[in-house]
Amino acid sequence: MTKVLVLEQSKSVRNNLRERLEFEGYSTEAAESAEEAAEKCGRIPFDIILSDRTEGVSDTGIPFIMLSSDNTVESAVEALRHGAEDFVTKPIDMNRLLSALRRSVPGGDSESDDRVADRTVKHPAARTHHRSIHPDIEPIVGESESIMRVRRLIDKVAGSEARVLITGENGTGKELVARWLHEKSRRASAPFVEVNCAAIPSELIESELFGHERGAFTSAIKQRKGKFELADGGTLFMDEIGDMSLSAQAKVLRALQENRISRVGSDKDIDVDVRVIAATNKNLREEIRKGNFREDLYHRIGVIVIGVPPLRERQGDVPLLVDYFLNRICDENRISVKPIDRDAVDALSSMPWSGNIRELRNVIERLVVLSGDRIMLDDVKSYC
């Protein structure tokens, strides 16, 4: 496994880079200062260093990639003159950085993104202890062809600006797919804002999306920005978009066509730069036929469609998910990981899981809380 040292003054950048790289299958360490980096290089045989400076790394004998906020040609030339293998500007484009890593590490240039993804998937233990980019972003666990296809689509689509429509039943992990699309995109350092279109009353959805001016309606006691403005520069995840009213659909369509919105109670247009990712558990083509959804909006949001499979169609992934959730839940409850009998796992694998992964996680949490020192088949029968 390729060992990478991240030498970066900013703690948040250090942590984000480490977590992104660990997700891709790299082994990482971090250092804040050149002295700390030198100490770690004396103990660990790093393959490459990602550094925000040339001082202290150019004489280590280890290849390094320069990370710089200065995107001038002069800075790039200076870094290369000091021995840098490559030069990547901030904010960091992860696709660009990963390509630079594969070119710079001996033997690494032939390893494709799919192979990195496959390696990560086929080592469940590594996924079990995965530290996500953000505390509430979990890995997409599984090695079935259907879920690997989802991961491959994420890798291909994330770096573009194409709008994505994520389809699938409740509990399949549509929000998780949306979050990874954002985290692997060029907008990763900007906001990820989500809105559940089904959870907001139809009379309030426009205010929620576009904001309102003070006095626009009875309860509008002050000006408020909507989700589009809050997501400016980043990603807006519109969950359950199939439940949105036709009136709101028309305004969303305008926002996507013109990249501008106007707050409720205002005639002033506001420019917004937002990538929209939408999700639904409905058949939107059927909703179009019924007159419940605009066909022109469907074509706007569905440039790329990612279908997330239900758990019953990927039951071979259940043991991996059980292992992952057991470790995660036991860690959250600050207890030792409970072993689970094979026949208990087999029983879980054979269940229909109408609530999909969300239901499976809830069941594992119930088993962790209610079972004894280990989870047995009788526990599954009693508590599932």
Spatial separation of the C-alpha atoms in residues 377 and 316, rounded to whole Å: 18
What CATH superfamily is the domain 3-111?
Answer: Response regulator (3.40.50.2300)
Distance separating alpha carbons of residues 26 and 50, to the nearest angstrom: 13
Q: What is the pLDDT of residue 331?
A: 85
* Residues present in the chain in total: 384
pLDDT exceeds cutoff 60 at 133 = no
The residue to which tokens 């069941």 are assigned:
363
Residue 132 in this model has a pLDDT that exceeds 60 = no
Residues of the chain with CATH 3.40.50.300: 145-307
- Res. 136: pLDDT tops 70: no
Global pTM? 0.65
**C-alpha distances in angstroms, 117 versus 74, 149, 212?**
36, 11, 44
Of residues 108 and 13, which shows the higher confidence score? 13
Both structure tokens of 132:
């996500």
The alpha helices in 44-193, defined as continuous H runs, are 73-81, 94-104, 113-121, 124-128, 145-157, 174-183
Q: Is 3 helix (H, G, I), strand (E, B) or coil?
A: strand
The model's pLDDT over 35-79, given as tens digits with 9 standing for 90+, comes to: 999 889 888 899 999 999 988 787 788 999 999 887 776 777 778
Give the model confidence (pLDDT) of 176-198 as tens digits: 999 999 999 999 989 999 999 98
Summarize the confidence of residues 148-169 as an average pLDDT: 94
Residue 122 has pLDDT above 90, yes or no: no
Query: What are the residue ranges of CATH 1.10.8.60 in the chain?
Result: 311-383
Per-chain mean pLDDT for the chain: 86
Amino acid at 306: I
pLDDT of the residue at 113? 40
Share of the chain above pLDDT 90, in %: 56
Task: Write out the DSSP string of 229-289.
Answer: HHTTTSEEEEETGGGS-HHHHHHHHHHHHHSEE--BT----EE---EEEEEESS-HHHHHH
User: Is 142 a residue whose pLDDT tops 50?
Assistant: yes
Cβ atoms of 139 and 176 closer than 8 Å: no
Class of domain 311-383: mainly alpha
| DSSP-derived pairing of the beta strands 27-31 and 48-51 | unpaired
Residue 320 and residue 124 in contact, taking contact as beta carbons nearer than 8 Å: yes
pLDDT score for 107: 55
Write out the H or E segment, with its range, that includes residue 90.
none
Q: Distance of CA 213 to CAs 25, 221, 245, 282, 363, Å?
A: 48, 9, 21, 33, 45
- High-pLDDT (> 70) share of the chain, %: 92
Confidence (pLDDT) at 238:
96
129 pLDDT higher than 80 = no
The 10s digit of each residue's pLDDT in 310-324 is: 999 999 999 999 999
Tell me the three state secondary structure of residue 5: strand
Residue 354, both tokens = 């109408």
- State pLDDT tens for residues 148-157: 999 999 999 9
**Who wins on pLDDT, 274 or 84?**
274
Looking at 3.40.50.300, 3.90.1300.10, 3.40.50.410, 1.10.760.10, the CATH number of the domain 145-307 comes to 3.40.50.300
- Of 149, 166, 135, whose CA–CA distance to 235 is shortest? 166
pLDDT band of 305, cuts 50, 70, 90: very high
114 has a pLDDT exceeding 90: no
Domain with CATH 3.40.50.2300 in the chain: 3-111
**Residue 200 DSSP class:** S
Please, which pLDDT band fits residue 206 given cuts at 50, 70 and 90? Answer: confident
